[in-house]
Amino acid sequence: HLAMHYYAKSLGYIERVEKVIKVGNVVTVEKDGTACSVPSSKILFNSSLCAQQTSNFSAAQECMRRCVASSPTTFGEDPFCWLHMAESCIGSYTELKRKSRVRFEDSVNSEQQLSNHHLSRVVDYLNQCIYLCTDEGINMPKSRKKDYLESARVSLAYVWMELENFASVIKLADLVLKEESLTTDSCGDDVPLISIRRRSIMRMYACEAMCKLGTPSEGLKYMITVQPQHDTTLSAAHFLAMIDGSKKDGNDSHKPLTPDELTRLNHARASIHICNAMTSLSLGEIEFAEEQAKSALNCLTNHVSDNYMCHVAKAALIHALLCGGKVENAIKFAKTIH
């Protein structure tokens, strides 16, 4: 917040300087004859980064848009800038969507307005990012291009899921999953974990998309394993939560989980259980679906969790109970929901 305050003051000062330059009351060249540079693009770039960190997504998008417009050959050719704008726009969309669940839960029109207002721009931003990442003329390390490209494809898959373009989701998932994951040697320490998490997310997107298209058995193939050597829900959850697989729930004194890591891990477990439950329901495997829904609720009720994921897990359990003919149990459970 303090950084944003100073960046705002800097932008205000530069705007005044630019007005003076236009009037002609200030020298615009250095002593050696080179032009004076006004660092407005750099300030806008850094302001956008700070705004996104404070969840001020509209300001983040506007600052980066102005940055790209003021420097089309530098920042405008950096795929990160377009990815950042897309992420800020998605942030605004998810905030509005969360509010719409509270205010307009049954309003179809409000959902359509949200999609048209934000997601159409996100598609344009991400397509530009993908284009720049695949442009050989852009001078950037291949490992960084690959990182941005993978992130852009996962973000675009989310957008297509929201817009119910399920065929495009599957195409993007196949593109991401066929590529080799990023390595520590080429990208640094954190990127490989992020890359594995992205791939885990893409498997869940692809599974859900296949279910929506009426082929749940094909969707289940994406969920069988997240990595060839790891095929358990716990391993998949570690990948999804970006946690070192050697860390345990607290039994290992050498590498115990922090409270934040434990929350993330249980959220990831719940997500995978819910995905398995919904896919199993589509396949008619009712008992397994019920078991997975209960497992998801156990992960969420024992730890701090968001209400929306709890709502989805409860809905999956009620659905499984009804499909299994356990109507009385479903009614009894539904009455316990507040």
DSSP 107-172: -HHHHHHHIIIIIHHHHHHHHHHHHHHT-TTS-S-HHHHHHHHHHHHHHHHHHHHHTT-HHHHHHH
Given a cut of 70, is residue 184 above it in pLDDT?
no
pLDDT band at 156 (very low <50, low <70, confident <90, very high): very high
- Among candidates 196, 210, 265, 280, which has minimal Cα distance to 233? 265
pLDDT tens digit sequence for 323-336: 989 999 889 888 88
pLDDT tens digit sequence for 67-109: 899 888 889 999 999 999 999 999 988 888 777 654 444 444 5
**Do 183 and 192 meet the contact criterion of CB atoms below 8 Å apart?**
yes
Lowest mean pLDDT among 7-11, 58-62, 77-81: 7-11
pLDDT band at 11 (very low <50, low <70, confident <90, very high): low
Would the pTM of this model clear 0.85, i.e. be above it? no
pLDDT tens digit sequence for 198-243: 888 898 899 889 988 988 888 878 875 444 444 345 456 666 666 6
**Do 238 and 265 meet the contact criterion of CB atoms below 8 Å apart?**
yes
pLDDT tens digit sequence for 299-315: 886 544 556 778 888 88
| Mean pLDDT calculated for residue range 277-283 | 84
Sign of CA dihedral 41, 144, 235, 209: positive
Given a cut of 60, is residue 179 above it in pLDDT?
yes
pLDDT over 90 percentage in the chain: 21
The pLDDT assigned to 169 comes to: 95
Strand, helix or coil at 106? coil
Residue of 180 and 285 predicted with greater confidence: 285
